[in-house]
Chains A and B, each alone.
Chain A
């Protein structure tokens, strides 16, 4: 089992500084390095569906949480969300939008597609860190999802 297969959180974020702050907060909160960071929606889909650069990844292993940015180059967050929720293999993965956009239309559209949470990134770093911390603790420690890998891996 490679390091890629163990990633429990998929972070989809095109701004490197935001990604670094998020990764750091998640590592501190969850005491884990099992976060995989991809830089846009196309890479996120490749990772989740084991395509392209991720063709060798073990398809039985799906992330337990996807943190998804909205506005990204190539394939945006809405399109990624649509693919994830349309596929029975990935539809149960909790997806939380983490975005700078508080545009009502983005929020409405995300929920229409079945998003599990929508968080507007706070600008102030302390609040941002606490926000990431809260998301990590809730979705990774309190929340239960159907156990797809039971006996499988």
Chain B
């Protein structure tokens, strides 16, 4: 075996320790040497060359490094085997990077799994908490009602007022819990995706809402079919349209419009109203649970509707966003991937 200086430097041997004394597999780890003898060398003898075969070499000091081997046979004029020429490239760095990527990926997958688990735990926690809160709440409301019924006449005005505050508080908390449970339900419900006629869905919901707001005008734009869970998508329309009718309700001529456009593999649906709008500085808060940009006395609600919209749309692989200005109306958008197999 002959060897060049670079190669000697890599291995940490002096020339005289190698030449004529060591054979190629002698400077490999046991595993690589076994592979060399059993597979690579027979292959080399058969075909006369080797290309980019990875081995782990052992330095004189016992440490190791990865290298890729290329080898060719050199023969004399009569095709007799003379010698083999091998070149070796140190690929330790590439190996190290590959290993690091593998480890990072494994860690990432672990984090994703953990995150999923935590998320599920959190959802089931919020479900059971709001669930278990119902019984004591029913007691507060029920027993203060009994007090009112049985002892109301013996209370003076202030006594009755205080009792009214208790019952009012219980009612509000009831609403909060019901909404939280609804949010949790829409987060947990299994998706049963089918083709959904959004035009009919939005139109039906709007007709119901319009019945309660006869002076409002509804302008239906063209809405392409979607691919999703009909019950959940209906809830998206219910929440967006009831908001629109609610916030436009105080206008002289309330107007609610729906429409859509399609871009880059997704359908974007929107609901616009000419109502009180919102301060765009707080647009990020709109879709959070229990986040409200208007006082309870001004417009009733607990602030769960848009959180449900976002959760449902996200579960369908879409996005939600909003545009608006104070006193200048609001537009709420949601996108759904164009799963439209066929005429979408």
Contacts and interface: CB of A to CB of B under 8 A. Distances in A.
Contacts of B141: 123-125
A36 interface: no
Query: For chain A, what secondary structure do more than half of its interface residues adopt (helix, strand, loop), or is it mixed?
Result: helix
Query: For chain B, what secondary structure do more than half of its interface residues adopt (helix, strand, loop), or is it mixed?
Result: helix
Nearest to B150: A24
B137 interface: yes
A18 B145 contact: no
Contacts of A121: 134, 138
Interface string A92-131: 0000000011000000000000000000010111101100
Contact of A24 (B131, B146, B171): B146
Interface in B96-151: 131, 134-139, 141-146
A11 B42 CA distance: 85
B173 to A, nearest CB: 9
A43 to B, nearest CB: 19
Nearest to B127: A103
Interface in A45-83: none
Contacts of B145: 125-126, 129
Name the 5 nearest CB pairs between A and B, nearest first: A17-B139, A125-B142, A125-B141, A21-B142, A123-B174
Interface of A: 15, 17-18, 20-21, 24, 100-101, 121, 123-126, 128-129
9 contacts: A18-B139, A20-B142, A21-B143, A100-B131, A124-B138, A124-B141, A124-B171, A125-B144, A125-B145
Given A15-B135, A17-B138, A124-B141, 7 more contacts: A21-B138, A21-B139, A100-B134, A123-B134, A125-B138, A125-B142, A128-B142
